[in-house]
Amino acid sequence: MLFSELGLSAELLRATTKQGYEEATPIQQQAIPLILEGRDLLAGAQTGTGKTAGFTLPLLQRLQMSQPQEGRRHVRALILVPTRELAAQVAESVRNYGRYLPFKSEVIFGGVSINPQISKLRRGVDIVIATPGRLLDHMQRGTIRLEQVETLVLDEADRMLDMGFIRDIQKILRVMRGSRQNLLFSATFSREIKQLANQLLNAPMEIQVARQNTTAEQISQVVHPVDKNRKRELLSHMIGAGNWRQVLVFTRTKHLANRLAQQLERDGLSAAAIHGNKSQGARTRALADFKSGAIRVLVATDIAARGLDIVQLPHVVNFELPNVAEDYIHRIGRTGRAGLEGEAVSLVCVDEKKLLSDIEHLLKRDIEKVVIPGYEPDDSIRAVPIKNGRNNRRPNRNAGSRRNARPQARNRRGNQRSGRPRRAA
């Protein structure tokens, strides 16, 4: 289905054409008409399928159709996201799709000075894209008012709950008055998300364009069994032998992300690390260098597992499997986006067999195992199993906020898109 068949305004169609998008993805085909009707929505889709445009385009059209109250410009739409990088990505989409409309938007997150944000908010904005922590900072300062919000979007709602934002979200909801449209978008929905939806949504429509906890068909997946102390050696070998020019590598910890990036540099591979303890400037530079090709390998914690959208990213490597099986889906979803092919490689040591089993159980399929000659695992090594589950990760409750934080602490993501028949992000 084409965007021109979804009932969007001429200004929005002009903007999608400017972006090079003509064909709507399944989530966009189902979500856009429902949102235009004013329905509350609980929407799920595989990562990389265009959820952002699925709510941004109809949100802009509804603002275009409704008449704001006379007087000073006020916040009419609020989009809450879990991390800085995702906030920046969504804000870019709002700017791109709304380029021919008269609306003003502002993105607010922590890790940067609050003063420029205050100045823009005081001048008046229609749309705010925010992380919960920094939004609460503004609410406490009295620099933003949310009483007249017409549309609320929770993007990656399950991740916000996983990161400990539920109390912040509840505080934000308490100050929002009157009727409004509520939209929840995410790649996966837990029982907790369903409970939040029941509290927040009014007679919602629920759409799920693919079976939950599935990966995109165009992503090839393989596991390479290898000893823990030989993972870095094997990774360097694969990058060099395969002439991989752009590789996103995931670790479980910030410390290992730093150490692995340094080791890869010593191996002659340009690399950088991105994680929550990096300053916002360092994270932005590393991501920009990776997108431009200035660095070959980006080593990341799960800060980059959601929302990171990179043009035709060909390779994702799980240097360590995640503690939570669902995060595997989000990690490898950084490749194979917009219908393009991608490769997901996992280097699995004997300690991670239970984590791998949990992932395969979630996917309801076995992942192909291939031993690389010369890197055969030592069967005499005794396993020290790694605990799984969210309780074994330390949630970053201040991600995206400056509250209780030094300038260097917090979280995630970036944006861009390409493809042959291009599809909206």
**Look-up of token digits 């002659």:** 268
Q: What does the alpha-carbon distance between residue 340 and residue 390 come to, in Å, rounded to a whole number?
A: 31
Q: What is the DSSP letter of 2?
A: B
pLDDT at 210: 60
- The two beta strands, 247-250 and 342-348, are unpaired
pLDDT at 402: 39
Looking at the chain, which residues constitute the CATH 3.40.50.300 domain(s)? Answer: 3-208, 219-392
Determine the 3-state secondary structure of 26 from DSSP.
helix
Residue 173 CB coordination number (10 Å): 16
Q: Could you tell me which residue, 166 or 400, shows the higher pLDDT?
A: 166
* Out of 33-42, 109-118, 336-345, 363-372, least confident range: 336-345
pLDDT at residue 412 tops 50: no
Half-sphere exposure for 237 (CA within 13 Å, toward CB): 12
pLDDT at 389: 66
Determine the 3-state secondary structure of 186 from DSSP.
strand
Q: Is 157 exposed, middle or buried (0-12, 13-18, 19+ CB in 10 A)?
A: buried
**CATH superfamily name and code, 219-392:** P-loop containing nucleotide triphosphate hydrolases (3.40.50.300)
pLDDT, tens digit (0-9, with 9 covering 90-100), for 189-241: 777 777 888 888 888 899 987 655 566 667 899 999 999 999 999 999 999 99
Predicted TM-score of the model (pTM): 0.70
Query: Is residue 321 very low, low, confident or very high in pLDDT (cuts 50, 70, 90)?
Result: very high
- β-partners of residue 77 are 127, 151
Query: Is residue 305 very low, low, confident or very high in pLDDT (cuts 50, 70, 90)?
Result: low
Sheet holding 342-348, edge to edge: 271-274, 297-300, 247-250, 315-318, 342-348, 219-225, 368-369
Angle between helical axes of 325-332 and 353-363 (0-180°, round to 10): 70
Sheet holding 77-80, edge to edge: 105-108, 127-130, 77-80, 151-155, 181-186, 41-44, 205-208
Query: Is residue 308 very low, low, confident or very high in pLDDT (cuts 50, 70, 90)?
Result: low
pLDDT at 406: 35
Class (C level, CATH) for 3-208:
alpha beta
What average pLDDT score do residues 151-167 get? 85
- β-partners of residue 78 are 128, 152
pLDDT at 244: 93
- Least Cα distance to 24 among 44, 42, 4 occurs for 4
Query: Is residue 401 very low, low, confident or very high in pLDDT (cuts 50, 70, 90)?
Result: very low
- The two beta strands, 77-80 and 105-108, are unpaired
Q: What does the alpha-carbon distance between residue 387 and residue 307 come to, in Å, rounded to a whole number?
A: 26
Query: Is residue 307 very low, low, confident or very high in pLDDT (cuts 50, 70, 90)?
Result: low
Angle between helical axes of 84-97 and 51-65 (0-180°, round to 10): 50
**C-alpha torsion 27→33→34→35, nearest 10:** 90
What are the strands, taking DSSP E only, across 156-259?
181-186, 205-208, 219-225, 247-250
pLDDT, tens digit (0-9, with 9 covering 90-100), for 13-53: 999 999 888 889 889 999 999 999 999 999 886 666 788 99
